[in-house]
Structure formats: structure tokens, C-alpha cells
Amino acid sequence: LSRLIHELERMPLFGLGCSSFGGVHWGSQSDRDSLAALEAAVESGVRHLDTAAAYGAGRSETVTGRLLKRRPGLRQNLMIASKSGLKGSGANFLKEIDKSRRRLNCDTLDICYIHWPVSGIDPRPSLEALARARETGSIRYIGLSNFTPRAIIEANSFVPIDACQFGYNLIWRNPEKELIPLCSKLGIARIAYGTLAQGLLCGRIGPQTSFPPGDDRGLTRFFAPGKREEVFKGIAELNEAAGQRGMSLIQAVRLWCATVGTVDQFLIGARNRRQALENFGPLERDMQLTEELERTGERISRLFAGEDNFFGFKP
């Protein structure tokens, strides 16, 4: 096992995703709620915090950094991950890493990812910059986020990659085909985002839900015409199966995550204390429910066979 996989194995399976703290693409957000979510998550045992420079132009990193400044004793037990946008020059990428470290109040980032591949930008200067940062200790591990299997192979033959992050959940299973087996073969840690399908797997969003301006969730593939009805019919079935066992849909989804054994960490978003306590609280086992969820989840996922990501982006 790689050193990173070994470290992740010793942590709880669920990490806190901090994208909503940026307050863009996902509705407005108060820093007070973000800090309360962070506090509740770490109180509940969360050890992995995932943010990015792009989340609110540094705002998510800044608020996460406030927690680390306020509670300096926490740092040594946490895995702090951030992401920078691909740059044409390595020097510019290194400057972005330094800005993230300052905002996060961290001398060292545990994982630093290239956030997205960009067509027409060669990733190699940024990969060289990441390798230099790993050598000099400003980061510990190099990550790729949203890269295709082919791009991962190319990058990994240039600079050894430690982690890959991709969208993956009960109803979006495409990474199981190629991406996850590839990472496993290469010894690269597998980090899943969108564990609750951006809130769809909470049972309160339906096919007719209209999101307020500034919340782009309705643009994902889950709402694609001709598919959304099937998606929400399946989610209603999942919700009912969970309810029959006295569980919330979120608890049932977490249960599936805890038994599927395909990735090293699942990131879950929480935008306030209440959500964080529910998302990172104790979990009961129920194998029969897991099998029911698996069948329905796979059925929904087949609607999207062959698609790269649930945002519908073509990098």
C-alpha cells in the first residue's frame, strides 16, 4: 500500500467537503455556518478536510484556515487537501500553492490536486511544480482531480501521482469500470466526491425542484431531460427502503459507502452544524438494506453509462 492509502485507512471513511463554504455555484453561505459545520465535523471525528482555491476565490480555504488558527492543536491530526487550477507555467502553479497555504494557515498541504484538466493546457509544468513542492515539503502528496484514465496514466508516468479525486456515489457508478481499477492497480488513493449527489441523495430534492439563482445544481446530468424522472423515481424508492428500516436516506447512503469497499475516502458536504452532525455521526449496519440500495443505485447509474462526470463537462 502507498503511504497515503495507509494513512487514509487509519481515518474515518468520510471526509468533509468544503465547497459550499465558498458561497458560489451553490447558493449563499455565512462564514459562521461554515465554521460551525467545521467544528461539528471534527468533533464527530472527521480527519480529512477537502477544499480548493476555486471555492469562492479562496473563501472556503480562508474559513477553513480560521478553524486551524483558532484550534492549532487540531492540525497534526488532520489531512488538509486543496486544489489549484492548471497553469501554463510551473512558477505560477507554485505561487497558487503558496497562496493556498497562507489562506489555510498551513506550512504544508497534505494533498494538493490539479483541480481539472483543461483542453489545450499541458499539465506537465504544473506536475513538475507539484513534484518540486513535494520535494521541498510545501505539500506531502500530489493529486489529480477529474482526470480521465488515459490522462492519469500519462501524468503518472511523468510524476508519480498519490491520489485521484472523482465524482462517485450510489447512483453515479461509472468510475467502477475503469477509473477505480486503474487507481487500485497503480497504488493511487481513490477519493470520491459528490457522495450525496450534491444533495439529491437527501430525499428533499425532486425533479421539479427549482434552485435559486447562484445555485447551479439543476444543471447536472441528473436533471437531463428524459432522465430526471427515472432518477427521482429511483431516489424515491431508495428513500422508501431506508424509511422502512427507520433510517434517513443519508444514513442509508453512508451505509452503502461503508460496505462497498471501492474507494479510500468519501467526501460529504455539510453547510451547517446540523448537517455535519447527521453526516458524520454514528452508523448502524444493515446488510439487507445495502443489497436493496445497490440494485436501485445501479439501475439509476446505467442511465449515464459512458459519461465522464455528472457536471456534463467536457474538459
Cite the active site residues.
55
Nearer to ligand NAP (CB atom), residue 58 or residue 199: 199
Residue 139 DSSP label = E
Those residues with Cβ within 8 angstroms of residue 248's Cβ, 6 or more apart along the chain or in another chain:
203, 242, 278
Check: CB of residue 109 under 8 Å from CB of residue 53.
Answer: no
CA–CA distance, 203 with 236 (Å, rounded to integer):
7
Q: How far is the CB of 215 from ligand NAP (least distance, A)?
A: 8
What residues numbered 244-263 form the site for ligand NAP, per CB under 6 A? Answer: 250
Alpha helix positions (H), the chain: 3-9, 31-43, 59-70, 90-104, 124-136, 149-158, 179-186, 228-244, 249-260, 273-280, 287-301
Residue 215 DSSP label = B
Range in contact with ligand NAP (rule: CB under 6 A) among 91-99, 154-162, 272-280, 300-308? 272-280
278 near ligand NAP (CB under 6 A): yes
Nearer to ligand NAP (CB atom), residue 105 or residue 198: 198
State which residue has the least CB distance to ligand NAP. Answer: 17
Report DSSP letters for 80-116, one per residue: EEEEE---SSHHHHHHHHHHHHHHHT-SSEEEEEE--
Number of residues that bind ligand NAP (CB under 6 A): 26
CA gyration radius, the chain: 19
147 near ligand NAP (CB under 6 A): no
What residues numbered 162-201 form the site for ligand NAP, per CB under 6 A? Answer: 165, 193-199
Nearer to ligand NAP (CB atom), residue 165 or residue 296: 165
Nearer to ligand NAP (CB atom), residue 126 or residue 288: 126
Nearer to ligand NAP (CB atom), residue 100 or residue 275: 275
CA–CA distance, 185 with 232 (Å, rounded to integer):
35
**Residue among 174, 239, 279, 296 that touches ligand NAP (CB under 6 A):** 279
269 near ligand NAP (CB under 6 A): yes
**Residue among 82, 138, 146, 296 that touches ligand NAP (CB under 6 A):** 146
Report the amino acid identity of residue 126.
S
297 near ligand NAP (CB under 6 A): no
Nearer to ligand NAP (CB atom), residue 90 or residue 203: 203
Q: How far is the CB of 75 from ligand NAP (least distance, A)?
A: 19
What would the grid cell of residue 160 be? 508519480
CA–CA distance, 293 with 278 (Å, rounded to integer):
19
Please list the residues that pair with 152 across neighbouring strands. none
Check: CB of residue 17 under 8 Å from CB of residue 38.
Answer: no
What residues numbered 43-72 form the site for ligand NAP, per CB under 6 A? Answer: 50
Pairing label, strands 189-193, 79-84: unpaired
130 near ligand NAP (CB under 6 A): no
220 near ligand NAP (CB under 6 A): no
- Secondary structure E strands in 168-206: 189-193
Nearer to ligand NAP (CB atom), residue 84 or residue 195: 195
Q: How far is the CB of 58 from ligand NAP (least distance, A)?
A: 14
CA–CA distance, 260 with 273 (Å, rounded to integer):
27
19 near ligand NAP (CB under 6 A): yes
Q: How far is the CB of 295 from ligand NAP (least distance, A)?
A: 21
Residue 224 DSSP label = -
Binding positions for ligand NAP, rule: CB under 6 A: 17-20, 26, 50, 145-146, 165, 193-199, 202, 250, 267-271, 275, 278-279
